């Protein structure tokens, strides 16, 4: 069995050094994509940047395939009249006190 080196990490305990080294490598978004025929010039592209450059060069816009939905704006709550609210609260408190007497 090969020898392993561990490092103490707060909250995780002893963790193998190899695992910590793997966590250091960040995910990279690649430029490659499956071969795609561009609808404007008919050429095959396997590079996102090349595909997008052709699109921009021909004054077009790349869009997704998500459905566009119109959302109704949320109704705004009516402004609270603090004077009426305070009066209501004090009247309710007075009524409760008088009922207990």
Sign of CA pseudo-dihedral 79, 80, 82, 87: positive
User: From CA 82, how far away is CA 66, in angstroms rounded?
Assistant: 45
User: With bands split at pLDDT 50, 70 and 90, how would you rate the model's confidence at 44?
Assistant: very high
pTM above the 0.75 mark? no
Which residue reads 């009922």 in tokens?
99
Residue 45 clears pLDDT 90, i.e. is over it = yes
So what's the pLDDT on residue 55? 92
So what's the pLDDT on residue 62? 85
- 47 and 55 in contact (C-beta within 8 Å)? no
């Amino acid at each position: 069995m090969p020898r392993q080196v561990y490092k103490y990490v707060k909250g995780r305990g002893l963790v193998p050094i190899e695992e910590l080294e793997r966590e250091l490598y960040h995910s990279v978004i690649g430029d490659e994509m499956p071969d795609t025929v561009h609808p404007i010039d008919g050429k095959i592209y396997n590079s996102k940047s090349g595909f997008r450059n052709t699109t921009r060069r021909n004054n077009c816009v790349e869009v997704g395939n998500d459905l566009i939905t119109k959302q109704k704006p949320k109704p705004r709550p009516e402004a609270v009249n603090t004077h009426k609210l305070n009066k209501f609260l004090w009247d309710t408190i007075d009524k409760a006190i008088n009922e207990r007497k």
